[in-house]
Amino acid sequence: MRTSKPITVTLGKQQAVVDDRLASGEYESASEVVRAGLRALEREEKARNEVWRRLIQESLEDPRPDIPGEEVFAELEALHDERVKAGR
């Protein structure tokens, strides 16, 4: 019994990618190409999320003292002002 439902997708420029994959013989159907692309997207998102989680955890565990927000923004504004002046 089929657990998925057929859908219609307009690929635009990506249609050429699907056609190339089919012509290479690497895939037997457009559905296989799309499923492979979705699996790759899931792997990419999982990897990116793992990186973000690691960076957030490292930040939370950072023993250095916190910097007040006002100080951070003042430094950013000063840096921005310097770059604007240098660009003139």
- Name residue 88's amino acid: R
* Confidence label for 11 from pLDDT (cuts 50, 70 and 90): very high
Q: What is the pLDDT of residue 39?
A: 98
Q: What DSSP character marks residue 36?
A: H
- Identify the three-state secondary structure at position 62: coil
What whole-number distance in Å separates Cα of residue 9 and Cα of residue 17?
A: 14
Query: Residue 8: its pLDDT value, please?
Result: 93
What tokens were used for 75? Answer: 């430094």
Alpha carbon distance 18, 30 (integer Å): 6
Q: Tokens for 59, please give them.
A: 């930040």
Tokens 């290479």: give the residue. 24
Query: Mind listing the pLDDT tens digit for each residue in 26-76?
Result: 999 999 999 999 999 999 999 999 999 999 999 999 999 989 999 999 999
Instruction: Please give the pLDDT value at position 3.
Output: 83
